């Protein structure tokens, strides 16, 4: 890459020539900062304005370094990792490593990505699957299955040997438990060679509770007047704070060539205009010939942020929550907002995107904005993900919570609707392994995390008894992590192999029949037939209509004629024909296309 094409960063270590690296640290609370490079005498860094300290050193790729930060009249200072470190040796408390980001020779440098409407997401945790090299060997399997985008849970360096990733403290560094920056680039390179996009989950709403020293020397990074569920809110009113995270996103997209980012829990970011600035900056700085997709997780259901010039789509928690209520009958916790008239809520979701579009929740506060004008591809749909499984006390998957017939019907709706589908690792073979919340904290923090985790469930009927809460797995126990590893060997055995074949077949139908008709598709609405039963319709880009009839209930639902069409799939023989004849059987689903010349018969 030519020097003129490289992105230049405000923070961290940048190799700018043979045996010369420039360093920059934002430390507005510090009176002095020394750069300590292994093998060299300490180097006093110079004030560069705006709270920045800069300095250079005769070192190159692989050099170990730290900053020694002095606050107030302190004479000793404390040694800290670079908050913009690209890699660590010895964990977040160890040495930062100088990384030349342009050493990797890309084998698929001409890869430009794929259009969003082709996306089928597969979310996975690198640690639970054995790290980058192990998951790299799984990429051909995922491509053959019909996945088009692998979504990695956060890779930012975290304390200890295992973590979900959402407690990261060094957001620029690839955690060494997974591999080094070169291994991540090789992984992405291989994925691109197989036609797979790679997405990364990034966390810009908080830092983890262990190993974060920013409050000591950069107090302005955080707000003293606002808390999040995870600690003090990050102060996005500060220009340097904004720059820190925007440049982080640019790094992942430019240096690592990720095809997209998923922004975790942006509802915890108080400054909405920061999100707009983030998206606009990324759109303006990344090569416009590339397909780059920016996806939100946002409880606020802010439809105005989903725009071609801003964010591509949003995780549709509404879709998941109402489907979970209908599949399991659960109504505690946040499922309570979806337990009243869930069939009507599902119909609204299929027809308009969000369920909550300014409607009041149980707490009485309005949530969301109108979304019916958005295309169906503006919403990422899922039946399971890391949160929805792992935030359960015992980490159960739907394969243990729902009847197989109704789960098959819901899976048809997931994989054949025009919303962009997401599968969580192991879901495709109906894995029965739990996915639990796990960390690697120690001493008082470990105790606080364990007891806090158990206290979260005290209001749930199954865990009101202290003895039952004591059975909730300890997040810090290595056995909790080991129990969360997907049972890959099970996917070739019955009944998992049959479920895998079912998912593979649905994805083949999606790619053959739905995806070519998807760009420009729009919802035509959905209607409630009976308790648990809904029919939804979409106009595709070739003027055909996609129809999905879904009955998660226990009784046959009366229907009206929808016109003869071509059946794409039915979870039980005769469902499509019965639906056309006036009755939709219980615990089943069917999808078909209609108004297609020459299509005159339903499924045989």
Catalytic residues: 264, 297
What is the three-class DSSP state of 176? coil
DSSP string computed for 223-284: EEEEEETTEEEE-TTSHHHHHHHHHHHHHHHHTS--SEEEETTGGG-S-HHHHHHHHHHHHH
Neighbours of 308 (CB within 10 A): 8
- Cβ-based neighbours of 323, under 8 Å, separated by 6 or more: 346, 383, 410, 413
Q: Which two tokens stand for residue 496?
A: 């998992």
- Write the burial class of residue 484 (CB in 10 Å: 0-12 exposed, 13-18 middle, 19+ buried): buried
Residues 102, 106, 108, 113, Cα dihedral to 10°:
-30
Q: Which two tokens stand for residue 491?
A: 């996917």
Give the span between the Cα atoms of 368 and 229, in whole angstroms.
20
H/E stretch holding 301: none
Q: Which two tokens stand for residue 343?
A: 């069939």
Residues for the chain: how many in total?
Answer: 604
Neighbours of 111 (CB within 10 A): 20
Task: Judge whether 157 and 92 are in contact, CB under 8 Å.
Answer: yes
H/E stretch holding 28: none
Give the span between the Cα atoms of 415 and 483, in whole angstroms.
28
Residues 505, 511, 517, 519, Cα dihedral to 10°:
130
């Amino acid at each position: 890459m030519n020097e003129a094409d490289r992105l230049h960063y405000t923070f961290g270590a940048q190799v700018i020539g043979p045996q010369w690296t420039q360093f920059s640290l934002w430390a507005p609370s510090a009176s002095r900062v020394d750069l300590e490079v292994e093998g060299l005498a300490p180097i006093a860094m110079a004030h560069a304005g705006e709270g920045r300290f800069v300095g250079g050193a005769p070192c190159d790729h692989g050099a170990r370094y730290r900053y020694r930060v002095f606050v107030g009249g302190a004479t000793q200072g404390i040694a800290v990792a670079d908050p913009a470190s690209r890699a660590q040796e010895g964990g977040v408390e160890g040495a930062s490593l100088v990384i030349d980001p342009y050493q990797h020779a890309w084998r698929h440098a001409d890869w430009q990505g794929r259009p969003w409407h082709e996306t089928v997401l597969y979310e996975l945790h690198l640690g639970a699957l054995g790290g980058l090299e192990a998951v790299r060997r799984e990429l051909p399997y995922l491509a053959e299955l019909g996945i088009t985008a692998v979504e990695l849970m956060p890779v930012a360096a975290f304390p200890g040997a295992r973590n979900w990733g959402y407690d990261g403290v060094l957001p620029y560094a690839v955690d060494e438990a997974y591999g080094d920056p070169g291994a991540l680039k090789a992984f992405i390179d291989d994925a691109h060679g197989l036609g797979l996009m790679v997405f990364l989950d990034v966390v810009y709403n908080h830092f983890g509770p262990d190993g974060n020293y920013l409050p000591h020397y950069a107090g302005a990074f955080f707000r003293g007047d606002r808390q999040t569920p995870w600690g003090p809110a990050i102060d996005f009113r500060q220009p340097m704070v904004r720059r820190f995270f925007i440049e982080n996103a640019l790094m992942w997209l430019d240096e690592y060539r990720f095809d997209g980012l998923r922004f975790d829990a942006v509802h915890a970011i108080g400054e909405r205009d920061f999100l707009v600035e983030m998206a606009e900056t990324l759109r303006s700085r990344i090569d416009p010939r590339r397909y780059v997709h920016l996806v939100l997780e946002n409880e606020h259901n802010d439809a105005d942020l989903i725009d071609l010039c801003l964010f591509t789509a949003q995780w549709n928690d509404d879709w998941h929550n109402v489907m979970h209520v209908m599949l399991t009958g659960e109504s505690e916790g946040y499922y309570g907002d979806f337990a009243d008239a869930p069939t009507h809520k599902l119909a609204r979701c299929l027809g308009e995107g969000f369920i909550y579009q300014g409607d009041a929740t149980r707490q009485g506060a309005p949530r969301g904005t109108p979304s019916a004008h958005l295309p169906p591809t503006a919403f990422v749909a899922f039946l399971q993900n890391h949160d929805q499984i792992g935030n359960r006390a015992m980490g159960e998957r739907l394969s243990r919570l729902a009847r197989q017939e109704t789960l098959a019907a819901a899976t048809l709706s997931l994989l054949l609707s025009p919303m962009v589908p997401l599968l969580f690792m192991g879901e495709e073979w109906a894995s029965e392994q739990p996915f639990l919340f796990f960390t690697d904290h120690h001493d008082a923090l470990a105790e606080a995390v364990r007891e806090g985790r158990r206290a979260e469930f005290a209001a749930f009927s199954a865990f009101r008894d202290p003895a039952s809460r004591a059975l909730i797995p300890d997040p810090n126990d290595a056995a909790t992590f080991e129990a969360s590893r997907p049972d890959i060997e099970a996917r070739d055995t019955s009944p998992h192999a049959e479920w895998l074949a079912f998912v593979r077949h649905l994805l083949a139908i999606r790619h053959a029949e739905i995806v070519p008709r998807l760009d420009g598709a729009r919802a035509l609405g959905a209607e409630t037939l009976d308790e648990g039963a809904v029919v939804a319709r979409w106009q595709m880009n070739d003027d055909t209509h996609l129809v999905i009839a879904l009955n998660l209930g226990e009784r046959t639902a009366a229907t009206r004629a929808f016109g003869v069409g071509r059946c794409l799939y039915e979870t039980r023989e005769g469902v499509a024909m019965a639906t056309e004849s006036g009755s939709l059987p219980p615990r089943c689903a069917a999808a078909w296309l209609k108004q297609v010349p020459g299509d005159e018969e339903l499924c045989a």
